[in-house]
Amino acid sequence: MPKIRCSIFFSVFFLVISLSSSTLFAQQLGYSSNKNALGSQAMVVSPHPLASEVGLAILKAGGNAIDATIAVQFAQAVVYPRAGNIGGGGFMVIRLNNGETATIDYREKAPRKAHRNMYLDQAGNIVPGLSTKGHLAAGVPGTVDGLIQAHEKYGKLPFQQLIQPAIELAENGYPVSQTEAARLNRFQDDFKAVNDDPNPFIKENWKEGDILKQTLLAQTLTRIQQKGRAGFYKGKVAKAIVKEMKEGNGIISRRDLAKYRAQWRAAVTGQYKDYTVISMPPPSSGGVALLQLLKMVEDYPIEDWGFHDPRTIHLMVEAERRAYADRSQHLGDMDFYPVPIDSLLSKEYVEGRMANFSPKKASLSSDILAGAFQGQIKESFETTHSSVVDKDGNAVSLTTTLNSNFGCKVWVDEAGFFLNNEMDDFSSKPGVPNQFGLVGAEANAIQPGKRMLSSMTPTIIEKDGELFMVIGAPGGSTIITAVFQVFLNVAAFGMDLEAAVNASRFHHQWLPDRILIEKNGIKEELKEKLKALGHQMYEVNYMAVIKAIHRLQDGSLQGVGDRRNPDDDAKGY
């Protein structure tokens, strides 16, 4: 891509950055999150106010939803470094205003030197931490290629304009929030354990309002701006990644980087009553599992039972138990494994999965094996999500991740970004759970060039052929069930979007055999009724962090960021 001089950039970008550099930076923090926004034309919901501000500026400058999403993603790589990234990967679901849909899979890939037993010792046991921390945990990053391909196919504004705000945020720095400061402090020992060189994240006692400048990241983003994918997958940045790998016994090579390509895939679609659900196919497990869940509960009168009625929760938990059992056995990278999507989503199969459901008794996960076909063969909470709708009604749902907080904790010296630890999302040893308790089988075993299974569930929903909702979340294995529940909170239980997102949630993933519930989220009386059915419960602080947009009956848009993340932000006009 040709180099563009800064003087020809839209003045709106300089307005965003100048406000950040002077008025905003003159205060301790200078920005605040808005959890609930209304807009008559367009909406952005992201995990950080500065990223939302960038996306809104792109929309006001004439960009479409794809442009704004790309700009938001690059901005997140600066202001949301624990998950927003160029060192990881993700999924994007697109619905144009004419009803056309597409998805792009820019999930990371296993390096060429990867092999199925690479995280096992000589006795065949998993070596703790080998797939989660340090250089060997990283898959080949896909974010940059995915965003560039999305722009080439659907973008409206020049790509160079979309990345410029991120460059300036990295160069000028930005004040970290209280949440981010606390997180940076918590991971100081991890940063030091796997990084020999000084970097801007290693600092004693981060405080709210401290300025985080990322000069090397700005240089890397500038190379991408000037050279496109070659600015990342070749040249100086690729050399820096490979050098980092060699210094830490990692295995990503220059060939791995040069050969990486994102993959366009047909969306997984299905019906729930009057709604059409458009979601991500494998290697995301989200779309298939979400549609299974909706089909499993569709014929039951949950609207009459109501939200958090014991009958409703019992039914939804039993559906979740069965969908996650199927996830463990049948889902993986379709380029390597024949995922039986049509069978998994067939009416006959779904009815068969619920045939042994009892309204009076909890199933045992040991009795709920993954379904068989006749004749056929914890992703971290530090994922992130953005939902965008433009003035023409184009919509994008994008989920991206480094997996754990700051990925494998390896910061690429000379290039300025963290690498992912997505290799842990493979089944390092089939049948043995990963860091989030998810169990996988041969479908998700490690192979060179293969994409690892994910729980990310970027989703767009239509009602009667019109755009209804854009939704997604970070949250590891709880993403799928959170999207499932928030959608039903609106569609079945009549909640407005803010109430639907903020309502307490529950989660069952087959193994371990227990319901996760949010603290103080379920009344004691309800807990006792569920225990009487045979359910065990385990409390967690919170689950997935939804970012959603609801198109209201009058055509206006409501955007909601989740109370579970203090920095979640919605902006519209």
User: Following CA atoms 281, 393, 224, 218 in sequence, which dihedral angle do they give, to the nearest 10 degrees?
Assistant: -110
> Is residue 521 packed enough to be buried (19+ CB in 10 Å), middle (13-18) or exposed (0-12)?
middle
Tokens of 65: 């939803």
Instruction: Pick the closest to residue 362 from 522, 510, 492 (CA basis).
Output: 510
Q: Which DSSP symbol is given to 394?
A: -
What stretches of 333-401 adopt beta strand conformation (E)? 383-389, 395-401
Query: Which residue type does 76 have?
Result: Q
Distance between CA atoms of 294 and 277, rounded to whole angstroms? 10
Q: Which string of DSSP letters, residue by residue, matches 213-227?
A: --HHHHHHHHHHHHH
Instruction: Pick the closest to residue 277 from 264, 292, 297 (CA basis).
Output: 292
383 assigned to active site: yes
Tokens of 209: 């309002």
Give residue for tokens 């590891």. 476
> Is residue 130 packed enough to be buried (19+ CB in 10 Å), middle (13-18) or exposed (0-12)?
middle
Distance between CA atoms of 11 and 283, rounded to whole angstroms? 40
Set 383, 459, 478, 481: catalytic member: 383
Task: Write down the H helix ranges in 354-430.
Answer: none
CB 331 within 8 A of CB 285: yes
Handedness of CA 199, 204, 205, 211 (dihedral sign): negative
Three-state helix/strand/coil letters over 28-92: CCCCCCCCEEEECCCEEEECCHHHHHHHHHHHHCCCCHHHHHHHHHHHHHHHCCCCCCCCCEEEE
Peptide bond into 512 cis (omega under 30): yes
Phi and psi of 511, rounded to 5°?
-125, 135
CB 145 within 8 A of CB 237: no
Catalytic residues, by residue number, are 383
